[in-house]
């Protein structure tokens, strides 16, 4: 059922947030450190494991796919909002670093496109000429 996929996603999210909070406390940061990323990694690994074992049916997979398609853009938007607030409160150096990172990212798009393309390979046709075998007269 689709609801099982949603429950699976919720469990991974809660586990990721818990581990992220725990990691933050261990390193002395009063924030969630990588909880969403940990949740997504859990979702990928556990989903793959359960699929291989036949425990995650087609309908459950559809539930996971649906909510992960909605979940990822929301999390990215939330993280971007936090980054903007952090940059504005962090001063001009944070704004300059963020701007340079975006400009560098845009500049590298053509380079990455060229790296991703494979050069066309020439088709080599090997024509093997065989001598005519004539029987001796």
Q: Length of the chain, please?
A: 137
Which pLDDT value is given to residue 103? 92
Say if residue 50 is in the same domain as residue 32: yes
6-10, 28-32, 68-72, 86-90: least confidently modelled range: 86-90
Q: What is the C-alpha to C-alpha distance for residues 13 and 78, in angstroms, rounded to an integer?
A: 15
Tens of pLDDT, residues 13-65:
889 889 988 988 888 877 777 887 888 888 878 877 877 888 777 777 777 77
Say if residue 9 is in the same domain as residue 66: yes
Say if residue 9 is in the same domain as residue 67: yes
Burial code (b: 16+ CB inside 10 Å, e: under 16) for 73-85 equals eebeeeeeeeeee
Say if residue 72 is in the same domain as residue 28: yes
Which pLDDT value is given to residue 65? 74
Say if residue 90 is in the same domain as residue 74: no
Say if residue 62 is in the same domain as residue 90: no
Say if residue 9 is in the same domain as residue 69: yes
Q: Let me know if residue 13 belongs to a domain.
A: yes
Say if residue 77 is in the same domain as residue 107: no
Say if residue 50 is in the same domain as residue 16: yes
Q: What is the largest CA-CA distance in the chain?
A: 100
Say if residue 49 is in the same domain as residue 69: yes
pLDDT confidence of 129, banded at 50, 70, 90?
low
Tens of pLDDT, residues 92-128:
776 787 788 889 989 988 887 887 676 666 556 555 5
Q: Let me know if residue 130 belongs to a domain.
A: no
Q: Which domain range does residue 29 map to? A: 2-82
**Total tally of structural domains belonging to the chain:** 2
Which pLDDT value is given to residue 31? 77
């Amino acid at each position: 059922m689709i609801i099982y996929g949603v429950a699976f996603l919720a469990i991974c999210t809660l586990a990721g947030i818990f581990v992220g909070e725990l990691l933050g406390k261990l390193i002395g940061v009063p924030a969630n450190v990588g909880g969403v990323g940990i949740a997504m990694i859990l979702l990928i690994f556990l989903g793959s494991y359960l699929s291989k074992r036949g425990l995650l049916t087609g309908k459950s997979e559809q539930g996971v796919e649906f909510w992960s398609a909605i979940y990822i853009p929301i999390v990215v938007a939330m993280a971007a909002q936090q980054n903007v607030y952090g940059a504005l409160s962090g001063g001009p150096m944070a704004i300059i670093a963020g701007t340079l990172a975006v400009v560098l990212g845009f500049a590298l798009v053509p380079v990455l496109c060229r790296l991703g393309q494979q050069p066309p390979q020439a088709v080599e046709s090997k024509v093997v000429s065989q001598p005519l075998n004539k029987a001796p007269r």
